[in-house]
Structure 1
Amino acid sequence: MEILVWAGAAVSLIGLFGLIWCILRVWGARRAKLGEDAMRKVLQKVLPVNTGALFLSVIGLMMVVIGILLQ
C-alpha cells in the first residue's frame, strides 16, 4: 500500500501544479488589464484546466488516505 500513498502524492502534486498554473495565468491576465471580452476568453480557457487540476488533487489525496488506512 506504500505504492498507493506515493502514487497519490504524485497525482496530488500534479493537480497542485495545475492549480498554480491557473492562478498565474489569470493573475497575468488581470495585470495586463485586458478588456472584458479578452478576459472572458482567458477565463473560459482556464476553467476546464482548473476543474481538472482540482479533480486530480482530490483523487490524489483520496489515494493517500486509502493507502494509509489499508496499511
Structure 2
Amino acid sequence: MEQESIEQKEPATAAELTQYIQSLLVDMQQKFQETTESVLKRLDDMNTKITSLETSVAEMMEQTGTSEDKI
C-alpha cells in the first residue's frame, strides 16, 4: 500500500465526507468493472478451449469409428 494513502487526513466537514465517500464509490465501481471484465474474458477463453476440445474429441471419435451412442 502506498504511504501517501495511509497518511490521508480524515474528512472534517460534511462536504469533505461526501467527496471522500463518492471517491471511494468511484474506486470500488472501477475495481468491480475491471474484475467483471477479467472474469468475462476468462469465461470466454474457457468457452473457446472447451469448443476446441469438443471438436477434437468428435474428430477422434469419427476417425476411430466410435459413436456417442457407444460411450
* TM-score normalised by length of structure 1: 0.46
The structure with the largest helix share of the pair is: 1
Structure having the higher Rg: 2
TM-score by length of 2: 0.46
